[in-house]
Chains A and B, each alone.
Chain A
Amino acid sequence: MSPLPPAAPRSGAGADRLFRLVTAGAAWLVLILLGGAAASMAWGGRLAFETFGWGFVSSRDWDAVSGKFGALVPIYGTLATSIIALLIAVPVSIGIALFLTDIAPRWLRAPIGTAVELLAAIPSIIYGMWGLFVFAPFMAAHVEPWLNDRLGPLPVVGVLFTGPPIGIGLLTASIVLGIMVIPFITAVARDVFNAVPTSLKEAAVALGSTRWEILSRVTLPYTRSAIIGAIFLGLGRALGETMAVTFVLGNAHDLSASLLMPSNSIAAAIANEFTEADSELYRSSLIALAFLLFVVTFLVLSAAKLMLMRIGRTHGRTH
């Protein structure tokens, strides 16, 4: 009896090893790219960090002529626009998710869900152009004069709404940003609302709960960590959004309490100024800004992912 030819399984094993090596190498590449991006931003920004130290994040001077760069204004602009954007997007997204899961008739759910998802597919440059040519003039003509008249004279909050109604500024950028993150938060909220066990909702209905009571006492508490994760996901998107903000924020390096004034954000400053940066220190300062943005979005998005994994584990599925 002849022995089995040993060649076939061995060559299979070699190809197996190669296949495994190639796929593992590609997986490593994802890590290398992420680490490489962080390292290259840190390296490119080292001149700015060395020159200005902590002053880089606390100073509001941004003067290319005298070579002084402080990032306070773009940092403030990034945080302010993102937070106002979330104040708009979070309630709206939860409202849409509630509509899509509990209120809308079944035949309407898919088309409206797709329409909201399309908001995320529109390229951000289109948001920017529309913002510059259509929305900013609309704000200047109809919304900002009203804010000036009605909210401007109020104590404390009034200062936020005084200033020239020119349309370009923090408030306009925040609203555009808010529209852009709605689809991301809505998508997660809709999925987790759908994942709430029907028995819980039925129990609440049996106890005589209204729709609002089911949302506020069953659905939201049950999905809390995923909703927080979704909000962080939206925050991560908003912090790094570039083109739309660049169009409507005004690229002004002035710190102003008013939301109607032009301002700047980290991403917009880089987009506007990087190709014009004529000195090593200028370029390094912009890359240092990118490093700060990268670190902050990394932390925010990691937190989002951890929150979303928590609910994934309880349902045996991941996002």
Chain B
Amino acid sequence: MPLRRKLADLVALLFAMAATLFGLIWLVWILWTTLAEGAAAITPALFTQMTPPPGSSGGLLNAFYGSAVMVLLALAIGTPLGIAAGTYLAEHGRNSRLAAVVSFLNDVLLSAPSIVIGLFVYELVVRPAGHFSGYAGALALAMILLPIVVRTTDESLRLVPNQMREAAFALGLPAWRVTSRIIYKSALSGIITGILLGLARIAGETAPLLFTALNNQFWSASIAQPLANVPVVIFQYAMSPYDEWHALAWAGALVLTTFVLGLNLMVRFFARKGSK
């Protein structure tokens, strides 16, 4: 073999290895920074005290509460709608023109800039209401969750073998019972995987909350008011000039990253186990 071809092959080999190393270095670097800075800032006060005014110490209790409320509300809105739409794409509307168009546009919505969704909810809810609110934030998060649930539901339903449908119809079951009692049951783990991955995604979303839930320095349990939440607090505190706020931002970042990556790894682990 001529030397030039051997050399080209060696270069390609080294390049692929270097590229992989390059990709992994960032992961390690980012996680290490978050762990080192965040661990130093985690105190019991983080989970018992409210977000402090500039230059003093405190915790993120109200932000954790607000994030949890909005994420759960978004799940309550986005999950049933997403499963219903996914069911239409895979079952009732399969091969229809509407399903083809929705399937296409759903994928576009899946990668659409989340800041635009935030502005949309601002125009739709916040501006008419005259103030920022927790439910506007939840609505924005639900809009981000929706296409994820639609896509994964559609994909998991399509994996259900057609023989199951045929057998169920042969027993004389109406279509809605076939779907709800048999098809959902066999696609359940795939659908739950999608919901959990969607949960991990919306837990860290910041841009759509900037103009919807905004932030709230104080304890507020009402979702009709501006609601504190972890990502926006991290954003505001990290951009501030105060050291105490920076420390809190790192602590919040560590909790958020641990939650999101932990959920991702757990879902993958169980999905892999289930498919074996």
Contacts and interface: CB of A to CB of B under 8 A. Distances in A.
B109 A30 contact: yes
A267 B105 CA distance: 22
Nearest to A37: B120
Interface in A16-30: 16, 18-20, 22-30
Contacts of A126: 30, 34, 204, 253, 256-257
Interface string A252-295: 00000000000000010011001100000000000100100110
Contact of A301 (B112, B120, B235): B112
Nearest to B250: A129
Contact of A125 (B89, B231, B261): B231
A7 interface: no
B200 interface: yes
Contact of B105 (A30, A114, A133, A287): A30
Interface string A89-118: 001111110111001100000001011111
Contacts of B111: 233, 236-237, 240, 297, 301
Q: How large is the interface on B (under 10, 10 to 19, 20 to 34, 35 or more residues)?
A: 35 or more
Please list the 5 inter-chain residue pairs (A to B) with the smallest Cβ-Cβ separation, ordered nearest first: A240-B113, A123-B204, A95-B19, A26-B84, A12-B174
A311 interface: no
A123 to B, nearest CB: 3
A99 B93 CA distance: 40
A207 interface: no
A54 interface: no
Looking at chain A's contact residues, the main secondary structure is: helix
Given A31-B101, A294-B116, A121 B200 contact: yes
B71 interface: no
Contacts of A23: 84-85, 87-88, 91-93
Contacts of B93: 23-24, 27
A287 B16 CA distance: 42
Contacts of B201: 121
Interface string A38-58: 001101100000000000000
Q: Which of A34, A91, A183, A293 has the most CB of B within 10 A?
A: A34
A273 B112 CA distance: 21
A242 B109 contact: no
26 contacts: A9-B174, A12-B177, A16-B174, A22-B84, A24-B88, A26-B87, A33-B146, A34-B109, A36-B120, A95-B15, A99-B16, A99-B19, A114-B268, A123-B204, A123-B256, A126-B34, A127-B30, A129-B250, A133-B37, A133-B238, A211-B9, A240-B114, A240-B115, A242-B113, A270-B115, A294-B112
Contacts of B239: 132, 247
Majority DSSP secondary structure for residues of B touching A: helix
Interface string B1-24: 100011011011101111110111
Interface of A: 9, 12-13, 15-16, 18-20, 22-31, 33-34, 36-37, 40-41, 43-44, 91-96, 98-100, 103-104, 112, 114-119, 121-130, 132-134, 179, 182-183, 186, 208, 210-213, 215, 233, 236-237, 239-243, 247, 267, 270-271, 274-275, 287, 290, 293-294, 297-298, 301-302, 305
Nearest to B17: A99
A208 B30 contact: no
B112 A40 contact: no
Given A29-B85, A92-B19, A126-B253, A267 B175 contact: no
Given A122-B257, A126-B30, A96 B119 contact: no
Interface in B74-132: 81-82, 84-85, 87-89, 91-93, 98-99, 101-102, 104-109, 111-117, 119-120, 122-124
Contacts of B85: 23, 26-27, 29-30
Contacts of B57: none
A149 to B, nearest CB: 24
Given A19-B92, A27-B98, A271-B210, A290 B116 contact: yes
A45 to B, nearest CB: 10
Contact of A25 (B1, B37, B84, B250): B84
Interface string B202-226: 0111110011001000000000000
